[in-house]
Amino acid sequence: MSELKALTRTRKIGGSLIVAIPRELVKEEGLKEGEIVEVKVKKVKRDFFGALKGIGPMTKEDKFKGQLEENE
């Protein structure tokens, strides 16, 4: 029995959450509808590296912006 991994997103149907097994894993394992499979669940940490591309580095003006201004 081999152990293959894939990332997939949960979806809600009724009161349950479901996940889909990617086509590549279905083919590789030769899975058929109705077969019993073991599923291990591990929540993946989100990685936001590169999410703010193009913003550029913070300047001194940015660092103190809003802190010295009075609230209206």
Mean pLDDT on 43-66 = 69
- Distance between CA 10 and CA 32 in Å, rounded? 21
Predicted local confidence at residue 72, as pLDDT: 47
pLDDT surpasses 80 at 33: yes
Q: Is the model more confident about 16 or about 65?
A: 16
| Residue 43 pLDDT level (bands cut at 50, 70, 90) | confident
- Total-model pTM: 0.54
On whether the CB atoms of residues 8 and 20 are closer than 8 A, the answer is yes
In this prediction, residue 51 carries a pLDDT of 64
Mean pLDDT of the region 26-50: 86
Q: What share of the chain is helix, strand, coil (3-state, %, to 5)?
A: 15, 10, 75
What does the pLDDT read at residue 42?
A: 87
